[in-house]
Amino acid sequence: MADFVQVIDPGHGGHDPGATANGLREEDLTLKIALYTRDYIYELYEGVKVYLTRDKDVFVSLSERADFANRLKADHFCSIHINAGGGDGFESFIYSGSYANKSKTNAIRNALHDVIVAETRFKDRGKKEGNLAVLRETNMPAVLTENGFIDNKDDADFLKSDDNLRKIALAHAHGLAKAHGWKPKVKPTSEANPAPKASAGEKVFYRVVAGSFADRKNAEKRVRELKAKGIESFIDEYRA
């Protein structure tokens, strides 16, 4: 199967700083969150290709951002912004018009929105619709997230911490993965489960893991592949 193509769009940049307050510029925060989100996606999931509409402090017009995603035939577009204008918390937008994939667009947004609110503990301002250019001009399901208010003292304090920007990014990665059904990368067993120490009279056995699958069919396929290579294996079901 072809890789899932995820476009991430850090709002503003270059001569357009976006909202500014409390010593912060929206363009800097959105870029960091987008870069961290890409890192987390590559670290945690397989079968995904991430493209950013900008990866440095440059100006890109709204239509160029949408065209970029359309040319890539991206599967999903996620625009990252910071709010301003009096308020606090998190809100997300999908395009308000009527269009073919609106229910799918909304379902993806809902999953992403809920994960971000749960993981960041931002106040939930709600799931909204708007006539925003990047949402209107993209051909694929698209969402825009507004991650706190730059002109709210508490939100700005939260956004001043790099750890919190990473938290917002990780929440985007988790939320997109949940929404799109991305497959987690399998960590080597030694990392996930350090070898247990044997206590007196106990024997330690070493199990060789050659894959971990959400779908039994894929596990069966792996067993067949190993068998074709002369390696006997079996499926061990576990629940997590």
State which H helix or E strand residue 10 sits in.
strand 4-10
At closest approach, how far in Å is the CB of 82 from Zn ion?
6
Tell me the residue nearest to Zn ion as measured from the CB: 81
At closest approach, how far in Å is the CB of 19 from Zn ion?
6
User: Which residues make Cβ contacts (< 8 Å) with residue 158, sequence separation at least 6?
Assistant: 148, 164
At closest approach, how far in Å is the CB of 140 from Zn ion?
21
At closest approach, how far in Å is the CB of 32 from Zn ion?
14
Interacting residues with Zn ion (CB under 5 A): 11, 18, 81
At closest approach, how far in Å is the CB of 84 from Zn ion?
8
User: Which residue number, 75 or 151, has a Cβ lying nearer to Zn ion?
Assistant: 151
184 SS3 class: strand
User: Which residue number, 134 or 140, has a Cβ lying nearer to Zn ion?
Assistant: 134
| Helices vs. strands in the chain: H and E counts, helices first | 8, 10
CB 61 within 8 A of CB 55: no
Say which DSSP state 94 is in: E
* Token duo for residue 156: 């700005």
Q: Where are the beta strands (DSSP E) in 28-152?
A: 45-46, 48-52, 76-83, 90-95, 124-130, 142-149
Phi, psi dihedrals of residue 131, rounded to the nearest 5°: -95, 75
Phi, psi dihedrals of residue 191, rounded to the nearest 5°: -80, -45
User: Which residue number, 18 or 148, has a Cβ lying nearer to Zn ion?
Assistant: 18
User: Which residue number, 150 or 179, has a Cβ lying nearer to Zn ion?
Assistant: 150
Which of 146, 220, 225, 237 is labelled catalytic?
146
Decide if 129 is catalytic: no
* Token duo for residue 235: 């499926």
User: Which residue number, 11 or 89, has a Cβ lying nearer to Zn ion?
Assistant: 11
Looking at the annotation, which residues are catalytic?
Answer: 146
